[in-house]
Amino acid sequence: MGMAVNTKKSVWSQRLSEARAHLRLRGAAASRSNDILPVGQYPEIISMFEGSGLMRPWRGVEQAVANAVVDSRRFEPEAYFWNAVDPDLLKRLLHFFRTECAIPWAGENTLVIASGVSHLFDTFLGCVLSPGDLVLSPAPYYHQFAEYPEKWGAKWEVIPTSASACFKLTASELASFVQKHPQRERCRALVLTNPSVSGAVYSRHELEELSSAIIRLGLKVFVDEVYRDHVHQDTTFVSLASLPGMERVSVTAHSGSKTRGSADYRIGWACAPEAIAAKMISYLEFSINNVSRLTQIAGCAVLSTPSMSIAKGAAQCERRLGLIAKRLAALSNRLTTEFPRLWPQHSIVDISNVDGGHSIILDFTPLNGLRTPTGIKLNTSLDLCEYLMCPSQADQGVALSPCYSCGLDGMFLKLSFADVGHQYVSEVLRDGADFMINPACLNSSEGCSIMEACRCFNDQLDSAFLRGEDLIAEALRRLEVAIVYMLESNTRPFNHSFPVQMQDVAALDTII
């Protein structure tokens, strides 16, 4: 396994670099405010740009790390741990993959740990690719993934999917793409995210058809299941690796970064066929990015997150999605009514196929080719994102992610909603005892019952979640104002001016 440095960027990697450069210059990378602001005050830019965790990890993670630091038998900073797996983490991983993911072939020799899912993905590619191979992915995808194949001399290929199916990849689309590709013999690996960037969750039937196609086409598959904990209440989640035949070709990756609030601990885990796992571990043994024992102790606690905590986060994500959908449906109707020529009957988002995850895809196709009030033509979703971050002197901005850099042409934007207002939720979890998870920690001498303390804590947590919903409502108000102003400016001769007075949108604000 040797690294092949590819100095020529693919079109998808070039798009990602372009998006990074433009959006960082305009402040999107720094727009995620952690400040605790008074009610009614908002940051200059509200970021719905990238999705991380909704709240801090449960208190057991902090306790496990703190206890290990002072326990010389548990954690020995003076000694090299190399790439050994902590025994307690090993047990938790076996339980997770066998029980929660229902992967019957999971065993000690199938487990790999690394510094997050991206690190696992990079390692996987190094183990299955040769220079000139092709890595396939439906769009949209996690934009950073498109860069990794270049490191190994391979190429990222995007499989077109349908917006009407929430951009889920079908077995027929996969087979057709490979069979028609002029280098079909070099198609080596497939990447799936489930739940996907668009919020879609693959059904058992869909995965069964995909698994048959994957085997027939001779592909290896990397499945990112980082959002698997946050699916909607009536949705059944199935791991691709649990299906027959996948024990030879599938790698299932997961971490606590998104749904268990532990992104900055930098640890992820995978279940892979023994032959692939052995190669991944061998590569990691020669990498300087091995996972420290203290981080593994944190990871073990992350895997022990109580189901009540995970369910609380999943319910909040589902609630937020419903609020966003109502607001955007009302906006679509308003635009059709007021600007029928520029905005014919068109839905910004259809959540009928959204069943989980932390983000959705917005469709602003009618805006393609229009001009901003300052005369800039909208050619890509990156142009639209830049406008929304600074629409005018009269209003503040909202940061969304351009699908231009994750495989979709046209006016598609990604809206990430889970971590909006996370600072208010984390403040409650940090400063108060976590009664929701461990009510017995209350000292009865404090003069109130455990049940009263639980109610008080949950009231505080619900209030913090409402602050996040308020930020989302304000972001959507800004989005509405910016889109309406743009359409207004395109209904009259362009004069390089921008309306000074904002149109009243109070009626729509009553929806949330």
As a whole number of angstroms, the distance between CA 329 and CA 162 comes to 20
Pick from 218, 211, 277, 271: which is nearest to 244 by CA?
211
Q: How confident is the model at residue 508 (pLDDT cuts 50, 70, 90)?
A: very low
In the predicted structure, residue 62 carries a pLDDT above the cut 60: yes
Lowest-confidence region among 320-334, 343-357, 413-427: 413-427
Handedness of CA 451, 453, 455, 461 (dihedral sign): negative
Share of the chain above pLDDT 90, in %: 63
Q: How far apart are CA 479 and CA 499, in angstroms?
A: 16
Reference 190, options 206, 171, 162; nearest CA is 171
pLDDT at 436: 45
* 77 vs 74: CA distance, rounded Å: 10
Under the banding of pLDDT at 50, 70 and 90, the label for residue 461 is confident
Which of 271-280, 338-347, 432-441 has the weakest average pLDDT? 432-441
Q: How confident is residue 27, by pLDDT bands cut at 50, 70 and 90?
A: low
pLDDT of residue 426: 79
Across 65-186, the runs of DSSP E, i.e. the strands, are: 111-114, 134-138, 155-159
What is the torsion angle, in degrees rounded to the nearest 10, for the CA atoms of residue 338, residue 344, residue 349 and residue 350?
120
Quick check: 28 and 49 in contact, CB under 8 A? yes
Q: Are 178 and 217 in contact (CB under 8 A)?
A: yes
Q: Per-residue b/e over 470-506, b at no fewer than 16 CB within 10 Å?
A: bbbbbbbbbbbbbbbbbbbbbeeeeeeebeeeeeebe
Average of per-residue pLDDT values in the chain: 87
User: Which helix (H) or strand (E) segment is 13 a member of?
Assistant: helix 11-25
For the ranges 14-23, 319-328, 377-386, which has the lowest average pLDDT?
A: 14-23
Please state the φ and ψ torsions of residue 300, each to the nearest 5 degrees. Answer: -60, -40
Q: What is the pLDDT of residue 425?
A: 83
Residue 336 has pLDDT above 70, yes or no: yes
**C-alpha torsion sign, points 93, 94, 95, 99:** positive
**Residue 136 confidence (pLDDT):** 98
Structure confidence at residue 78 (pLDDT): 84
CA count, 13 A, side-chain hemisphere, 345? 0
Edge-to-edge strands, sheet with 412-416: 359-363, 412-416, 401-402
Mean local confidence (pLDDT), 259-274: 94
* 507 has pLDDT over 50: no
Predicted pLDDT of residue 494: 57
Residue 338 confidence (pLDDT) above 50: yes
Residue 16's pLDDT is 76
106 and 94 Cβ atoms separated by less than 8 Å: yes
CA distance 364 to 115: 36
| pLDDT value at 481 more than 90 | yes
Q: What is the mean pLDDT of residues 163-190?
A: 96
Highest mean pLDDT among 68-72, 202-206, 305-309, 389-393: 202-206
Is the confidence at residue 398, as pLDDT, over 80?
yes
Question: What's the Cα-to-Cα distance from 304 to each of 69, 88, 96, 260, 347, rounded to whole Å?
Answer: 19, 11, 9, 10, 41
Radius of gyration of the chain, Cα coordinates, nearest whole angstrom: 24
Answer yes or no: is pLDDT of 296 > 90.
yes
**Highest-confidence segment of 36-50, 167-181, 279-293, 413-427:** 167-181
- Please indicate whether residue 23 or residue 244 has the higher confidence score (pLDDT): 244
Lowest pLDDT segment from 250-254, 397-401, 434-438:
434-438
Cβ neighbourhood burial of 344 (10 Å; 0-12, 13-18, 19+): exposed
Backbone angles phi, psi at 222, to 5 degrees: -110, 120
Q: Looking at mean pLDDT, say which of 124-128, 141-145, 383-387, 435-439 comes out highest.
A: 124-128
Tell me how far apart the alpha carbons of residues 45 and 256 are, in angstroms, rounded to a whole number.
Answer: 27
Structure tokens of 314? 């999943």
- The mean pLDDT value for 44-70 works out to 87
Q: What is the pTM of this model?
A: 0.89
- Residue 460: pLDDT band by 50, 70, 90 thresholds? confident
Q: What is the pLDDT of residue 18?
A: 77
3-class DSSP assignment, residue 343: coil
What type of residue sits at position 54? L
Q: 234, 225, 173: which is closest to 195 by C-alpha? A: 225
Joined tokens for residue 226:
């980082």
Higher pLDDT, 51 or 106: 106
pLDDT level of residue 451 (50, 70, 90 thresholds): low
445-451 contact pairs (CB < 8 A, 24+): none
Burial of residue 33, with CB atoms counted within 10 A of its CB: 0-12 exposed, 13-18 middle, 19 or more buried: middle
Residue 29 has pLDDT above 60, yes or no: no
